[in-house]
Structures are given as structure tokens and as C-alpha cells.
Amino acid sequence: MFSIPFVKPWALAVGVVLYTLTRAYKVVRGRKEVGYVQGIRTLFEPFTFLGAVLPSLWWPLYPGVNFQWERRKSLYKQFNRDTVSIVPYLAGSARLWTANLDVAKQVVAGGASSCWIKPREYSRALLFWGMNLAGAEGGELWRRHRRIMGPAFNNKTYALVWNETLRVYKDMMVHEGWESKTSVDIPIVQTYTFKLALFIIASCGFGLPFDWSEPPTGEDDQMTIQEALRVVSETNFMYTMAPSFVLSLPLKKVKYAKQAHDALDAFMRHQVAVRKVEIRREIAENGSEEISRDDVFSRLVLANESEAEKLPLDDQEMIGSTFVLLFAGHETTGHTLAATLGFLAVHPEEQDIAYDQIMDVVGHDRDPTFEDYSALYKVLAAFYEALRFIPAGSVMIRQTTADTVLKVPKDLDSEEAEDLVIPNGSIVSVDMVGIQYNPRYFPDPFAYKPSRWYEQETTEIPDVFTAFSIGPRACIGRKFAQVEAVCWLALLLRDWKVEPLLRPGETHEEWRERVLSAQLVMTLTVGPVPLRFVRRVTKVESVISS
Ligand code: HEM
């Protein structure tokens, strides 16, 4: 007969009955928490440990952790509304799931006094290293972190980002030996976009300007920080959600993950300790809060050491902030740059438009400067449109700390909103993929059209662009990422025509289907993008050769 060692059958029966009753109560309460809105009824909520490790079963039994991407064409149509619900039977919490911009604004754009907070339960991966700006629930805690980090993001920083991107691009050309090549095949373009993003955050974020041939390593020189970050972002979920015995299993993957965590931990602790000493010394020597370094991290340490800051961050919070800078400044930008090049490769007409603007604004005879940034708005638009297709920050989860009322449109076509009474503790997930594909805001949402963003030329922040979030809690690194992207794309597209690296017999359409798809790791990421760079012949060169 079936039995579990050391567990008495009656204890097992009591356990099963208790679990069933608890879950039944949760389902009843969950339906109330989502205002009885219709939606997915499933076994597991995707953002639980079980949900993440299980493969998707048939719909809707368990939609899988990647359902947001895979069901982007059908989810909201199925229920004829852009705010639906998820109620899980066996694991996880019920929630509203919205692709509506007005609902998103009510939930995420309220600032420090809002009753909507970031629930800690879902920020565990971010908070693992210590409290930080991105993981803070809200209220005073968030405001304090933002006050300390905010001043570090200024025009001086962005000019530094531009200049460093230029330096790293040139360094990359020399060290990769591409200067003399007419064509380069690149199996995974993320190898370069990730390295670029890491170098820019190392340099402008931490004041550590590395050479392309010399990637930064951890304290023991065992593993590069790039590799440590890659492994940490892939395994952070296991680290933060799995039962602790999993981490002591004698498995190669687990050991490697631990090595990466240790390397990153040592790197961050070292940075915090060294910089604090350095900045204290500079303040003492100068007798003022003027420091020589312009990088974000030094500015953060300075703000923290400032006489005016009554509530400075402690060491663990500094480590947490270091991780957030490294992670947020690296993974998101690296993936979006790879996706932008992928889309431009299969849309040569859009690539030509960007190239023509680069030629008009910069030409061939000089390097682009930070002053060119706004004039290169079509390059930025190509980046925005890739970000619309694959928004790296794909979901924003918020929980209400008070009974509240949400105004929610009744169906897909109507503007008319109904009042939804939501009890304290209810969760809303803002579906960034859903918003960015919602035909309410984007006609023809599955077409890659950078021209949607040309209004950017006159308005700095288009209302429907949510990829960096909206309101006072929007991404603090937005302009940092944009400046880096525009500079690097302008340099690259000026020198090279970007084409898809096709398999034998593959068409562009098949390549696009195969490559430009996404999956949720810690952020929503495009798969490996294989490209061919073909050197552009300048007009002057073509005249000379003819
Ligand atoms: C393409 C690049 C990027 C994208 C798509 C992106 C997206 C986002 C999104 C959607 C949020 C809001 C998350 C939420 O509220 O749940 C956010 C917040 C944040 N981002 Fe970014 N980000 C990018 C680049 C960067 C960079 C380069 C940095 C730093 C150098 C950065 C640092 C942060 C921080 C610290 C927060 C938390 C802000 C707060 O809670 O007040 N991000 N980002």
C-alpha cells in the first residue's frame, strides 16, 4: 500500500483536509479580492516556486511562467476585457492582471503616499542582497532611498555615459579585430551588448573603466563579474525561493551558482568599503562635499555621507543598492539593445531611416557627441519600439494596504469604467506586455514601427510609453539607458549594416519567428540573437573606388 515513511496515515489525512480547507478559503477570498472579475482559474499561480519550476500544462490548468508572452495575442480577447483575474486553486495568491493604462496609473503612479505598495514577497530576488530603492515597499522607506540615489542621475552622469560608450565602442572594434573586416558573423549578439552594458555600468555607475580585453573579475579573480551577474540572474530565483536544503545539494549547477553569488558578494562589499574610505578622505581634505568622481556610486556614497542626510543607508543597504545598480543597469539594457538590432535586421527600411538620420546629424567625419542625443530621435525610436515589443521589466506587482475602489473599463472596446471594490491586501499585476500590445493605445500592435515614437522629438515622455513605468516611481535609470543606447546604436549603424544570420534555407520571417521571441528569467529577455554585420561603404569611399 502507498505510504510515506515516518508519517502516520491519520496525520497525513488531517494534513490533507487542513490544506484543502485552507485553499478553499483562499479561493473564496481570492474571488472577492479580484472583485469577482472573470479570468484564468488555474492550479498554480505562475510567480510561485512551484509555478516557476513546473512546465506549462495545457491551458488553463497551468498556463506556465511564460504565459504573459505566449498568450499576448489571445488572453484579453478571450475575456473581452483588458483587466482580468487569476485565481489559483493549489498554490499562490489571487490577483487582478491588467493591460489597461488607466488602471496601471491608479496602481503604480501614486508615489510615497499611495496605498499601493510593492509586496516584499515578490521583491525577494531584489532584496536578497539588502534593502534598496527598487525593492522598497513604498512610503518613507522608498522616499529615503530615492532621495539618496536621485541626485546621482544628472546631466553630468549622462554626458559621462555618452563619452564612455564611445570609448568602449572603439575599444571593442580594436580588440575584436573588426576594424579591418568587411563582414562579421555574430552567433549571439548579447555577448557584446551585455559586455557593453556591464562596462558602462562599471565605468559610469562605479567609476571602474575597464578595457574590452580585460573584463572585471571578483576579488579572487576566479570569475568575471559579467559571468557572475549572468549566473546570479539565472539562479536568483532558486536562491531566493527554493527551500534551503536545495542550496547544499552536491550538484555542479548549484555549486557554480554559489561561486557566482560569492564572487558578486565579494565584489560589492569591496566596492562599498573602498569607496566610503575614499570619499570620507576627500571630504576631509577639501573641507567641502566636492568630490572628484562623477560616477553614480560615488555620488550615492557622497549623498549618504552628507551632513544633510539624517537617515543614511547602512552597509547592507549600500550592498543592496550596489546590486540594484549592477543588475538593473546591465540586464535590461543589454537585452533591449540586442532586441533592437534584431528588429532592425529584419526591417532594413527602418534601419535605413535611422542610418540616414545618423548621417544627417553626425556624418562620417566626426564622432557623435552628447549634444547630438536629441537630434538622433529616430535611433531612440528604434530602441523604444524594440522595448515596446519586449519590455524587459514585464510586470509590476502592487498590493493595496487599504480597502479601495479601482475604476476599470467594462470591456475591450468601451471607455466606460465600472467601480471595482477591492479589499485591503488585494494584489494587482500590471502586465507591461499586455499594455504595449493593447490596440487601444497602439494600432497595429504587432508591427515594428519606430515612427510611433517620433513625437519624442517634441515631448520627452509620451504618455503611453510604460516600459520604464510611470509616475514618481518610474525607472531612475531611464535616461542613463537611453543615452547609452542611442550613442552605441549610432556608432554601430554608421559603420555596419545589420542583417539576420540565417540558417541554410531560412527566410527572414522564419528567423524572426525563431529569434525575436521572449522568455521570463528575472526580466523578460529575448533569446540569443544571431546577426551579420556588413561594413557600410561611405559615399566618399564608393566614389574613390569607382
Ligand atoms: C532598457 C533599460 C531599462 C528598463 C526597461 C527599465 C525598466 C524599469 C521599470 C519598468 C522599473 C519600475 C519597476 C517597478 O516599479 O516595479 C524600473 C525601476 C528602476 N530602474 Fe530601471 N530600467 C532600465 C534601465 C535601468 C538602468 C540603466 C538603471 C540604473 C543605472 C535602472 C535602475 C532602476 C532602479 C534603481 C529602479 C527602481 C526605481 C524606484 O523604485 O524608485 N534601470 N526600471
Which domains, from first to last, does the chain contain?
Answer: 1-93 (no CATH), 148-394+438-545 (1.10.630.10)
Ligand 1 atom closest to the Cα of residue 145 is 41
Distance CA 503, CA 389 (A): 24
The cell for 393 is 521589466
Strand 427-431, strand 95-98: pairing: parallel
Among protein residues, the one with the nearest Cα to ligand 1's atom 3 is 332
Cβ(515)–Cβ(342) under 8 Å?
yes
| Ligand 1 closest atom vs CA 153 | 30
Mutate to test the pocket of ligand 1, among 475, 483, 526 (most ligand atoms within 8 A of CB): 475
Point out which residues pair with 41 in neighbouring strands: 87
Q: Which three cell numbers stand for residue 29?
A: 477570498
Query: pLDDT per position in the chain (546 positions), as tens?
Result: 445 666 788 888 888 888 888 888 888 888 888 888 999 888 888 777 777 777 766 666 777 778 889 889 999 999 999 999 999 988 888 999 999 999 999 999 988 999 999 999 888 888 888 999 999 999 999 999 999 889 889 999 999 999 999 999 999 999 999 999 999 999 999 999 999 998 898 888 888 777 888 766 655 556 887 788 778 877 876 777 777 777 788 888 888 888 888 888 888 888 888 888 988 898 888 887 778 887 888 888 888 887 667 788 888 888 888 888 888 888 899 999 999 999 999 999 999 999 999 999 999 999 999 999 999 999 999 999 999 999 998 999 999 999 999 999 989 988 889 999 999 999 999 999 999 999 999 989 999 999 999 875 445 555 778 899 999 999 999 999 999 999 999 999 999 999 999 999 999 999 999 999 988 777 888 999 999 999 997 645 555 555
Supply the residue whose CA is at minimum distance from atom 14 of ligand 1. Answer: 396
For the beta carbon of residue 531, count every other beta carbon within 10 angstroms. Answer: 23
Q: Which residues line ligand 1 at a C-beta cut-off of 6 Å?
A: 133-134, 146, 205, 324-325, 328-329, 332-333, 336, 387, 392-393, 396, 467-469, 473, 475-477, 480-481
Distance 238 CA to ligand 1 centre (A): 22
Strands (E), 108-210: 116-117, 183-186
Residue 420 DSSP code: E
- Binding residue per annotation — 475? yes
Give the Å distance between the CA of 332 and the centre of ligand 1.
8
Cell of 380: 531612440
Residue 408 host element (H or E): strand 404-409
Centre of ligand 1 from the C-alpha of residue 353, in Å: 29
In whole angstroms, give the CA distance from residue 492 to residue 169: 8
- Shortest CA distance to 81 belongs to which of 320, 409, 310? 409
**Contact criterion met (CB below 8 Å) for 30 and 93:** yes
Cα–Cα distance measured from residue 443 to residue 439, given in angstroms and rounded to the nearest whole number: 5
Cell representation of residue 503: 540558417
The three three-digit cell numbers of residue 323, written as one number: 546590486
> Cα of 457 to ligand 1 centre, how many Å?
22
ipTM associated with this complex = 0.99
Tens of pLDDT, residues 35-82: 889 998 888 887 777 777 777 666 667 777 788 898 899 999 999 999
Handedness of CA 266, 269, 272, 274 (dihedral sign): negative
How many angstroms separate the alpha carbon of residue 530 from the centre of ligand 1? Answer: 27
Longest CA–CA span in the chain (Å) reads 91
Q: Are 388 and 467 in contact, with CB atoms under 8 Å apart?
A: yes
Measured CA to CA in angstroms, residue 369 lies from 162, 363, 486 at distances of: 7, 12, 11
Backbone angles phi, psi at 526, to 5 degrees: -75, 150
Is 406 within 8 Å of 34 (Cβ atoms)? Answer: no
- Residue 528 half-sphere exposure toward CB, CA atoms < 13 A: 7
Residue nearest to atom 37 of ligand 1 (CA): 134
Q: Which residue has the cell 572585471?
A: 216
Tell me the pLDDT tens digit for each residue of 92-140: 889 999 999 999 999 999 889 999 999 998 888 888 889 999 999 999 9
Query: So what's the pLDDT on residue 228?
Result: 83
- Distances in whole angstroms, Cα of residue 37 to Cα of each of 64, 440, 454, 493: 21, 20, 37, 48
Asked if residue 525 lies in contact with residue 327, where contact means CB atoms within 8 angstroms, the answer is: no
Q: Identify the helix (H) or strand (E) that includes residue 39.
A: strand 39-44
Any idea which residue has 513546473 for its cell?
54
CB 215 within 8 A of CB 222: no
Integer Cα distance of 297 and 428 in angstroms: 33
Tell me phi and psi for residue 519, to 5 degrees: -145, 155
- Rounded Cα distance, 194 and 226, in Å: 8
β-pair type (116-117, 395-400):
antiparallel
Q: How far apart are CA 542 and CA 528, in angstroms?
A: 34
CA of 405 to the centre of ligand 1 (A): 28
Question: Can you tell me the distance from the alpha carbon of 246 to that of 224, in angstroms, rounded to the nearest whole number?
Answer: 25
> Phi, psi (5° rounding) for residue 91?
-150, 140
